[in-house]
Every structure is written in structure tokens, then in C-alpha cells.
Amino acid sequence: MKKKRKESEASERSNWPEVSRSHYSLERGSRFNKRCREDGVATVPTRGASSLLTAARGLKRKIGCIDDATRMGRSVRIEDDYVIGGSTIGQGKFGSVTVCRARAGGVEYACKTLRKGEETVHREVEIMQHVSGHPGVVTLKAVYEDAECWHLVMELCSGGRLVDKMREGPCSEHVAAGILKEVMVVVKYCHDMGVVHRDIKPENVLITGTGKIKLADFGLAIRICEGQNLKGVAGSPAYVAPEVLLGSYSEKVDIWSSGVLLHALLVGFLPFKGDSQEAVFEEIKNFKLHFQTGVWESISKPARDLVGRMLTRDVSARITAEEVLSHPWILFYTAQTLNTLPVKSKLKPENAVTFHKFVTAPESGFGGNRMDNCFLNGSSSFSSSESCNSEYDDDCEWIDALTTAVSHVTISEAKRTKLWGPTGPIDPQGSSNLKTNLCKAF
């Protein structure tokens, strides 16, 4: 399916400047930048710019408009700047990723070498330049070209891939919330920048040497304007959103894929499976997920609620990245978020007090992975979703309760059924069928 990206951007590339094929000097760069500005080509919006880029600001930008430091061209060889040929750390469909070392300074980087002929590299580079700089995105350092290949020099994520950690089994809700939050912060940033990643999956979530999470592989990423419908099937089978299979979609596909990721983080297996790609697609389109029984009984209702809201087939009802970040389950487990996100509630004060007592007194029942023993009675005004309306009506009150509570309390560490840090499982109990169920990219 990745081959689709080749076709889908052929028309876009015809507008691209010839400059991308030859060495791009700084002088030409500034001339080119000027021309880009005169052409009305969009510049990078300031961090936090709200919502998707509008068409008026220009959708497509040309390589070289964004980052003069990123070289495209053949007059400077990668060997001049880097010692290449280090160990192979990844193998993708379009080439390999190896470790290289900067001749100046000796810092190690990841070098993704893409064979020519798969010209999607232009868009990958352009979008990486566009979103580089965010701490949750793998930074693109430089790009080189030789007769056979493109070489993308990126920051090295030496901690491996999230998918490899996930093979150890489901993680605690605390860890899952932390991971999802990190991913969603980047997804929100990409969406704010008018970029849809289209391939969110644990294989593309990398971990740095210090345990930070970085989103990688923008090979399928695409620009989007507000209100625009994207066409062209792209993604990885198990993670692809149903509307992609139906042929018209938006940035919300990243929320669905992240929901699949959250599902796997919490229970250790993917929600949609099958013996063939067609079978998986059939499940994605029609299979009704239930979160009440089996493995889900040990998962808190707030966590189930969030998965349900992310894996909602009705795109307009599916929550946004911003709403995921504001979800009480995320707020509860990621203390830092409390300082940055507004918390609204219509909860009665007495309920908040009750909850407060409960959270700060874990011995009264807040044990294991569960947060649902502390649900309160009372009215709720939380927005509707498939999951909340149909499955958790009785318990929607907890969301308001939790929302208010997290704004008041210092969160005590929940007891975990399993600890799972960035360097691997601390407590290797539990099993996973992820290994057999994870699908490869199309």
C-alpha cells in the first residue's frame, strides 16, 4: 500500500523546483526563499498555531524554503561530513537505516538511505523539515544525494522502537497514559502544522537514549488544509482507520491509529486481526469492539472510555488530539499536563471532595490498574461518544469527578500491576500475543 504514496504525489512533485536535484547553496537558498515568499508559499507557523493550515496560507512548500542547513544535492558528499557504514539499526521497505558519525564533533546519527526510484523522499524530507524542531519529532539533520541514493541524516534514537518494548506484554495504565500523551502531543503538533502522519504505529515510535519518545517515519505523511478530504489508501493494515478504506479521510486517521496503539498498550493485543489483509480490513470496518469483559475487566473505565472515543468509526464523533490530551485519564496519570491544560467541570463540590479523599487514600480501594472503583453518583455533562453513551452511561459521572479531582490533588502513584519503563519491563509478568498479531506495513 505504501506504493500508493508514489502515485498520489506524482502530481504534487511536478510543481517542485529543480533546485531539489542539485546542490542547494545558502545564497541560492535565500533567493529561493524570497521567491517562495513572493509566490505565497507558506512559512512554518509559530508553535501553537491553532488548527490546520488554511489553503490561503499555501499548502505545498518547496524544499529549500524551510531549512537552509538541510542540504539537498550532490556537490557535497555525505562521506565528506560523516563516517558512514556503521551498524544497521533498521530496515524499512524503502531502504536501510544505519549509524553514522559526524566527522566534526563525533556525534552519532541515524542515516536512512533510500534508493532512488522511490521518489517519495521529497515529500518525506519536506515534511520532516516542516515539523523538525519539535522535541517529539525525530530531527532531520541533513540530506545528501548521490547517484543511487538519498541519505537522510537524523538524530539517533538509540533506545529502540516502542513496538519492541510492547512485545513484553501490556504495560501499566500509568505507563500507557504517559506514552499516549507523548504521542498525542506530537500528533497534535503535526495537525496544527497541517500535517497528517498517516502511519502512527509502535514501529514508528522511537525511544531516545534517555527514554524520550519520538515520532519517526514521515514517509506517508501528507499536508492537509482545514476541511480538506484526503484520498489515496495509505497506512499499515492493523492501524488504518475505516474511513481510509472507504476512500475519503482527514487528520482524524491519526487518532484512530493512536487508539489502536493505546488498545495494544493496555491489553497487549491489537483490536482488529485476521488471517489476511482483507480480513483485517473487514474487522476494521465492521467489528464491534467491547470493553466490558475479559481482559478489559482489569482496565479502568476511564482508560476504556478513551480507547472507545479514539476508535469511534463516526469521524465527527471521534475525539481530536487536543481532546485526547484533555481526557481525564491522561490528566490523571500525567501530572505535568495538569499545569498546562484547562480543566473544566460541572461536578458538585461534595463529589470532588469524596474523590479527593479516595485518590489520596489508595488503601481505600484505588488499587492495581483500576481507577473505576471510585466512581461517583451525580449528573454528568461530559460530551457524548459511542463508548460513553452506549457502554458507560452509568459511569460517565466519573469523568467530571476525575476532572475536578485532578485539578485539586497531588496525584499519588497508582499501584501498578506491572511496571514498565523505557528500558524494558521491570516486572515481566503477564503475557502478550502482540508478537503474533502485529501487522507489518502495507
Ligand X SMILES: Nc1ncnc2c1ncn2[C@@H]1O[C@H](COP(=O)(O)OP(=O)(O)OP(=O)(O)O)[C@@H](O)[C@H]1O
Are 381 and 389 a contacting pair, CB within 8 Å?
Answer: no
In 134-269, DSSP assigns E strands to: 140-145, 149-155, 195-196, 205-207, 213-215, 222-223
Residue closer to ligand X by CB (options 346, 440) is 440
42, three cell numbers: 507558506
Q: Which stretch binds ligand X (CB under 6 A): 92-100, 249-257, 310-318, 406-414?
A: 92-100
* Contact track, ligand X, 205-244, x by CB under 6 A: -x---------xx-x-------------------------
- The smaller minimum CB distance to ligand X, of residues 156 and 359, is found at 156
- At position 382, the amino acid (one-letter code) is F
List Cβ neighbours of 79 (8 Å cut-off, separation of 6 or more). none
User: Is 112 labelled as part of a ligand binding site?
Assistant: yes
Scan residues 152-181 and list those touching ligand X (CB under 6 A). 154-157, 161
The CB-of-110 to ligand X minimum distance in angstroms stands at 3
DSSP state of 438: P
Residue 100 in the binding site for ligand X (CB under 6 A): no
Applying CB under 6 A, which of residues 94, 358, 398, 420 lies at the interface with ligand X?
94
- Cβ 5 to ligand X shortest distance, Å: 10
68 labelled catalytic: no
Residue from 5, 61, 71, 112 in contact with ligand X (CB under 6 A): 112
How crowded is residue 5: how many other Cβ atoms within 10 Å of its Cβ? 25
Among 65, 66, 97, 311, binds ligand X (CB under 6 A): 97
Number of residues that bind ligand X (CB under 6 A): 22
- Grid cell of 125 as nine digits: 524530507
Side-chain half-sphere CA neighbours of 50 within 13 A: 1
Of 15-23, 94-102, 331-339, 376-384, the segment contacting ligand X by CB under 6 A is: 94-102
Burial of 128 (0-12, 13-18, 19+ CB in 10 A): buried
Name the grid cell of 209.
537514549
| Contact criterion met (CB below 8 Å) for 187 and 114 | no
Q: Does the footprint of ligand X cover residue 92 (CB under 6 A)?
A: yes
Q: Which one, 217 or 372, has the nearer CB to ligand X?
A: 217
* Active-site entry in 192, 199, 395, 400: 199
| Of 413, 76, 32, 437, nearest in space to 264 by CA | 437
Distance between CA atoms of residues 395 and 388, nearest Å: 8
CB atoms within 10 A of CB 134: 17
Does 441 interact with ligand X (rule: CB under 6 A)?
Answer: yes
In the complex, least distance from residue 192 CB atom to ligand X, rounded to whole angstroms: 22
Task: Write down the least CB distance from residue 258 to ligand X, Å.
Answer: 17
List CB contacts of 277: < 8 A, sequence separation 6 or more.
237, 439, 442
Region 332-391 residues binding ligand X, contact defined as CB under 6 A: none
Instruction: Name the residues that contact ligand X, by CB under 6 A.
Output: 89-90, 92-95, 97, 110, 112, 138, 154-157, 161, 203-204, 206, 216-217, 219, 441
Binding residues for ATP: 112
- Which residues are designated catalytic? 199
